């Protein structure tokens, strides 16, 4: 089962479990005073998991990279003297520089939905 904040690839697309804009509440505890619903704390004894919605972040390339966060074009891996980063050949967006390809990829794919 997916968890809030989790990000994954499925069928060539990346998805992320995010909090809903409108909080979902449990039918057993109908919290309407602004406190946290039991779906996050299980205070009423229900078995409901924390609520989230799934956001489609878009298609990924053969290396598991999302497109540019600004223009959507696929990114190019860059390396120099042991450092790695990703950049967009279309709009010029560049990701942060890391020592490993995996760190650079993870950072560039991270989307704050």
Domain around 5: 1-59
Residue 113's pLDDT band (boundaries 50, 70, 90)? very low
Q: What is the mean pLDDT of residues 36-58?
A: 64
The last residue of a domain, from among 59, 79, 98: 59
pLDDT at position 46: 56
Same domain, 28 and 67: no
Q: Give the tens place of pLDDT for each residue, 75-111.
A: 999 999 999 999 999 999 999 999 999 999 999 988 6
Last residue of a domain, one of 36, 59, 82: 59
Number of domains in the chain: 2
Domain end, chosen from 59, 85, 101, is at 59
pLDDT tens digits for range 1-29: 788 888 999 999 999 988 876 655 555 55
pTM of the model: 0.65
Cβ contacts of residue 92 below 8 Å, gap of 6+?
none
Cβ atoms of residues 90 and 82 within 8 Å = no
Question: Rounded distance, CA 34 to CA 59, Å?
Answer: 37
Same domain (yes/no): 28, 55: yes
Residues 54 and 103 in one domain: no
- Please report the pLDDT score of residue 44 as a whole number: 56
Residues 113 and 87 in one domain: yes
In this predicted structure, what is the pLDDT of residue 5? 86
Let me know whether 75 and 23 are in one domain. Answer: no
If you search the block for the tokens 């942060």, which residue do you land on? 96
Which tokens in the block code for residue 56? 């489609």
Other CB atoms within 10 Å distance of the CB of residue 99 = 10
How many Å separate Cα 29 from the centre of its chain?
29
């Amino acid at each position: 089962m997916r968890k809030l904040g989790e990000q994954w690839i499925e069928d060539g697309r990346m998805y992320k479990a995010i909090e809903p804009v409108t909080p979902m509440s449990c039918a057993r505890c109908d919290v309407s005073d602004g406190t946290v619903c039991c779906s996050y704390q299980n205070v009423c004894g229900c078995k409901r998991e924390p609520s989230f919605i799934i956001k489609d972040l878009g298609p990924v390339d053969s290396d598991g990279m999302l497109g540019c966060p600004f223009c959507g074009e696929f990114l190019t891996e860059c390396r120099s003297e042991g450092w790695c980063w990703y950049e967009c050949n279309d709009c010029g967006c560049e990701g942060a520089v890391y020592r490993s390809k995996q760190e650079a990829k993870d950072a560039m794919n991270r989307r704050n939905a």
